[in-house]
Structure 1
Amino acid sequence: MNIKQATTIDEVIQLLDEIIEISKVEQSAIGLFTMLYREVTVRIKEGIADHSFQNGERMEKLDVIFANRYIKAYYQYKAKEKPSECWEFSFQQAEKFWPIVVQHLLLGINAHVNLDLGVAAAQVSTVDDIGDLKGDFDKINGILSSLVGNVEQCLIKIWPTLTILLKWTGKMDNFFIDFSMEVARDGAWKFANEFVALPENQTEACIQLRDKKITEIARLVSNPGYFVSAIFKFIRLFEKGTVAQKIIDLQIVQLKKVDCAAT
């Protein structure tokens, strides 16, 4: 299989659209994170256009490198080649029945932010100027956090009685997402600063070591303990709609947010 790669942010969106459409046809949960990530990319494109980022040219370069790591991992997995371990684990979970929407999203975020974002940030920087990237780096994570926060509306549509559970647990799912995003952001920035200082002959070993650590986090997301796992299984049994419909629901929620922001 041809490993497709983008050269511009528009090509990134096009390739993500292709993965989403394939996922709908194949009823693959891989499309859930891809749908969310597509919206992140669109927001970044809009931010570049309206000069929200400190350095728009650098941001597009970062976005393309960042996205290509995910796109490459996807096509490697589809070709039965070996992607990074954390992505392989995420894709394998997408083939299973029990993970719920939140878990699929967190598995994708874990691999992409904790591993890919740090590598991409280092690749557009030097030891001397990486500090200049911090503001734009945080904006990317802010965009992702805001989009994940909107997913609760989608989950309620997929499983209407989720509102009862949220009241009972004190919005446990929001805490889980917010905490994970904060930890991921800080860890990714620390990793980027360590990675950018490495000599070239040590970078691959560093990525592999980081990959193993991030895969362990993925295993915790997949199996967060008996009590939480039991709740997630209960949610999964009453989820409504096919995987394709869930992907569409995610898209509708994000589009509604855009419409509200524009009015």
Structure 2
Amino acid sequence: MTRAGAGAGAGAGVRSADPAGIDWVLARMRALEAGLPPRDGVAVFNRVYLAVTQEVARRVTAGGFGDRAAAAELDVRFARRYLHAVDQAAAGRRPPACWRPLFQLRGHPAVQPLQFALAGINAHIGHDLALALADTCRARGLEPRALEGDFNRIGALLVAMEERIREELMPGPDILDVADPLTHLVGSWTLEAARNAAWASFRALWALRALPDLTEELTDRVDASVGMVGRCLLTPLG
């Protein structure tokens, strides 16, 4: 089975078009929040992701997406990849390469909360999103263009959240000091660029879906490259 195929199986426990699956995701994230020390790197990302998922759930309920059922399914399949990585790490198994830096450095005292948040977002958007989009298209019999509108709506929400995250988690008063190592480091990565790359990866995976060897190779390379970016984002700064 290819990596992409395995990803489809990981989401099989969620029925298609079942918005209640978002409630399950929220319950898992809240349980993680309650069970982790606040300064833990995974806890920092989890708080950010919980806030995003709560807003997505609100908009799904309010009819804020073009295809409510598809948006709910995408949200759940997307979140399950993060939660699966959490479960793998908790069981002593190796999570995907994109997630390893966060789990390996989650307790490092010289890594700032903002770095943990951005490293988690990088892993999730840069690697998991493309696979979740492909899983959703397969499960619902859709073509990529059917998800593009809601992808952009979620993207606008994420970009707004990124701005808030940077404001809330950036330490100290000198956030515009370009000579500061943290300012320089986190300024080298943007969610918008990661989101655009995720859409391109999704389109490539979808075009290669009948060629499992190439699909697996592309998935592995994206995983490794996103992991390398995550490692850079988590550079200890003292």
TM-score (normalizing by structure 2): 0.81
Q: How big is the alpha-carbon RMSD for the aligned residues of Structure 1 and Structure 2? A: 2.8
Amino acid at match of 2:22: I
Q: Where does residue 130 of structure 1 map in the other structure?
A: 144
Give the direction of change, closer, same or farther, for the CA distance of 1:148–1:89 in structure 2 (3 Å limit).
same
Residue 79 (1) aligns with residue 91 (2): yes
Structure 1 residues 221, 53: CA separation in 2 closer, same or farther (over 3 Å shift)?
A: same
Which of 132, 145, 148 is residue 159 of structure 2 equivalent to? 145
Alpha-carbon shift at residue 123 of structure 1 (Å): 1.3
Map of 2:5 onto structure 1: none
- Residue 168 (structure 1) aligns with: 177
Structure 1 residue runs of 5 or longer lacking an equivalent are: 224-228, 234-263
The Cα shift of 1:201 comes to 2.6
Q: Alpha carbons of 1:35 and 1:178: their partners in 2 closer, same or farther (altered >3 Å)?
A: farther
Letter in 2 for 1:181: L
How far apart are 1:24 and its partner, in Å? 2.6
Identity %, equivalent residues: 23
Change (3 A) 1:215 1:89: same
Any idea what the Cα deviations from partners look like across 1:222-243, whole Å, max 9, x if unmatched?
Answer: 23xxxxx7xx43xxxxxxxxxx
Indicate how the Cα distance of structure 1 residues 154 and 122 shifts in structure 2: closer, same or farther if over 3 A, else same: same
Report deviation, 1:35: 0.6
Write the mapping of 1:1-263 to structure 2, written as runs, cut at 5 A.
7=14, 8-24=21-37, 28-125=40-137, 129-155=143-169, 159=171, 162-163=172-173, 165-169=174-178, 173=183, 176=186, 179-197=189-207, 198-199=209-210, 201-202=212-213, 203-223=215-235, 232-233=237-238
Q: CA deviation at 1:174?
A: 10
Task: Name the amino acid aligned to 2:156.
Answer: G
The letter of the residue matching 1:136 is: D
Deviation digits for residues 107-144 of structure 1 (CA, Å, limit 9, x no counterpart):
10111000000110111126972012112112222222
- Alpha-carbon offset, residue 49 of structure 1: 1.2
Q: Is the 8 A contact 1:77 1:83 kept in 2?
A: yes
SS of the residue aligned with 1:124? helix
CA contact (8 A) 2:115 2:186 kept: no
Shift of 1:12: 0.3
SS at structure 1 position matched to 2:56:
helix
Between the aligned partners of 1:5 and 1:100, the Cα distance in structure 2 is 36
Shift of 1:155: 3.0
1:81-119, CA deviations, whole angstroms, 9 ceiling, x for partnerless residues?
121011122111212111111110111011100000011
Q: 3-state SS of the aligned residue for 1:139?
A: helix
Whether the aligned pair in 2 keeps the contact of 1:119 and 1:192 (CA below 8 Å) is: yes
| Deviation digits for residues 14-61 of structure 1 (CA, Å, limit 9, x no counterpart) | 001111112138x52211100100111111111111111110100111
Is the 1:48–1:56 Cα contact (8 Å) retained in structure 2?
yes
Describe the shift of the 1:46–1:170 C-alpha distance in structure 2 as closer, same or farther (beyond 3 A): farther
Cα distance in structure 2, aligned partners of 1:70 and 1:200: 26
Residue of structure 2 in register with 1:260 after alignment = none
State the distance in 2 between where 1:155 and 1:118 align: 27
2:110 partner SS: coil
- 2:33 is paired with a residue of what secondary structure? helix
CA distance in 1, matches of 2:12, 2:188: 31
C-alpha contact 1:149 1:174 (8 A) present in aligned 2: no
Structure having the larger proportion of residues in helix: 1
How many equivalent pairs are there? 218
C-alpha change, 1:189 and 1:206, in structure 2 (3 Å) is same
Cα separation, 2, equivalents of 1:142 and 1:179: 17
Cα distance change, pair 207–4 in 1 and its aligned pair in 2 (3 A):
closer
